[in-house]
Chain A
Amino acid sequence: MVPSVVNIGCGAGFSGDRVDAAIPVVETLAKREGPKYLIFETLAERTLALAQKHRRKDPTHGYSPFLEDYIRPILKKCYETDIKIVSNFGAANPKGAAMKISEIADQIGCENIKIAIVEGDDLLQVMSSHDIQNHPTIEGLGIDDNEVVAANVYLGARPIAEALSRGADVVVVGRCTDPALVLGPLVKEFGWGEDDWINLATGTMAGHLLECGGQVTGAYFADPGYKDVPDLANVGFPIAEVGNDGSLIITKADNTGGLVSAQTVKEQLLYEIHDPENYFTADVILDISKVRVVEVGPDRVKVSGAHGKQRPDTLKATVSIDGGWMGEAEMSYAGPNALKRAQLAIDVLKSRCRDIKTNNPIRFDIVGTMSVHSGDNEDTTHTHKYPDDGDYRIRIATCGHDKEIVERVNQEMLSLYCSGPAAGGGFRQHLTDQVQTASILVDRNKIVPKVHFLTDYA
């Protein structure tokens, strides 16, 4: 029987999100009638490349490093109250993630839990590095001859729906579109067809609103005096109520902070959207240009008017290539005449960096004047509108494939301790292994997602 409403909550909106946010969502869902789902979105573009590197070092790793922190507090309650879990925390190793969940399930007395794995997103399994390198890129840099660290296709909702139809309690995906985590359960419950564009669009919009967790419920929103948010420290994560008539309500976990208002929903609706008429996903092209957002109760917002167009013949894939090294170093100057000392320190750094004779880009900032809003090559001496006395922090940043050169630039900042202007303090530095990403389009017919159950491997 087709349910009238499906409830879907979100427990994480990125790989470093709060590990306890899902608990009130589960408490709330457990009290609801009808089918109930909990999603975790933990896989940003480059997170997967980092996971791939981890897997190369240790074949049992390569899934979300916070998997256990997310799953352990809620798994038993979800199992007991029939809340199905869908997540992309499989990253570069969905099977490894599934095995970890199974291990946790055994420890907490959920031995019979059914864990499904969606595979088929790893492009390197069906295409050579050479073929991938020869694809034109639609976003990001050219791939050229750089070593391909990872290449993953954004799968759609269908394999998730299949896994759920075959009885999965937990579905572990590697790379899929973020909205597919929500659309998959809706396709399973409502039986929406592959060309049911309007409903697929509504489900995709629901997924888009949920995929960043608290960003639709008052997190990443507060601007004191302008947009105030109650109890931001305990912001409640979102729940979508999707009706079989294509209706959509966004609300949040009970007894939590935050808020769901027309404003919070509008900000998230347009988040990372370019042309509102053409948001491409694996399942449908979503058109939100005519969408209306109406508050229908406390922390309840109705979202309507999504349109859908036929899905594209291609699937997007993210290709990650080695990106060399990034170096960053910082030092503080404070008190009388601090800005002038900070500027002198930067003059010294510039002179020293000229002697290194590198073509690597180098950026200088004085944090406390204009920094994040200024361009790479803006002159840091244009600081006349800032007071000389104050608390300023200088920063140098560079990148390149030659690790020694990058380290040497950082070293120049360190040497200011003894050889720079008076009273520089609080030196910190980072050296980061970089990954570059590019997006390509792949013929849909080349990609065949597969659903396995962990028991298949036993």
Chain B
Amino acid sequence: MTQEHMKKVRLHDIAHARAGDKGNRSNISLIPYSAATYEILLEQVTEKRVLELFSNKGASKVVRYELPNLPALNFVIDDVLEGGVNSALNLDQHGKTLSFLLLTLSVEVPVTMTIKNTV
């Protein structure tokens, strides 16, 4: 599809997410509202982009796991919790709010796609 057939939206418009913590590692699930959008997530929400998004918090590595039957992605982000629940100085020691930081990433979708907040 060419450039003019695409529009930019936030991940928040097409997917939902939840963050969990273990030690100094966070995992964030990314689940498309529509299964048809899974391919867009696969193509555009890469390990590299997610690592970049969390680099200000010290993230050192991102591994992306694919669950095509759900469908969903699961991101495991190392060293992002500034010490984790027992030692982080951040107000959010668990990194519970980080799911919605992931949802700020922008993605390109076909202009014809109905997105969640316009339903």
A, B co-complexed: yes
Minimum CB–CB distance from B98 to chain A (whole Å) comes to 7
**Cβ contact within 8 Å between A273 and B69:** no
Q: If the complex has contacts A276-B74, A361-B89, are A223 and B16 also in contact, measured as CB distance less than 8 A?
A: yes
**Cβ contact within 8 Å between A267 and B31:** yes
Stretch at the interface among A124-132, A155-163, A243-251, A433-441: A433-441
CB nearest neighbor in A for B70:
A266
Question: How far is B25's CA from A38's CA once the two chains are assembled, in angstroms?
Answer: 31
**Cβ contact within 8 Å between B65 and A276:** yes
Residues of B within 8 Å of A395, CB to CB, are 91
**Cβ contact within 8 Å between B70 and A293:** yes
CB nearest neighbor in B for A220:
B18
Q: If the complex has contacts A220-B18, A266-B31, A271-B29, are A372 and B56 also in contact, measured as CB distance less than 8 A?
A: no
**Cβ contact within 8 Å between A290 and B69:** yes
Residues of B within 8 Å of A378, CB to CB, are 56
CB nearest neighbor in B for A327:
B89
**Cβ contact within 8 Å between B29 and A267:** yes
Interface size band for B: 35 or more
Stretch at the interface among B42-50, B78-86, B105-113: B78-86
Q: If the complex has contacts A367-B91, A378-B56, are A272 and B70 also in contact, measured as CB distance less than 8 A?
A: no
In this complex, how many residues of chain A approach chain B with their Cβ under 8 Å: the count is 53
A299 at interface by CB-CB < 8 Å: no
**Cβ contact within 8 Å between B85 and A45:** yes
Question: How far is B5's CA from A99's CA once the two chains are assembled, in angstroms?
Answer: 69
**Cβ contact within 8 Å between A372 and B20:** no
Residues of A within 8 Å of B25, CB to CB, are 139, 274
What is the 8 Å Cβ interface bit string for chain B, positions 54-71, against chain A (1 contact, 0 not)?
001110000101010110
The 8 A-B pairs with the shortest beta carbon distances in the complex, nearest first, are A272-B20, A270-B29, A139-B23, A363-B89, A372-B92, A397-B89, A267-B18, A375-B56
Binding site for A on B (CB under 8 A): 12, 16-18, 20-25, 27, 29, 31, 33, 56-58, 63, 65, 67, 69-70, 72, 74, 76, 82, 84-87, 89-92, 97-98, 101, 116-117
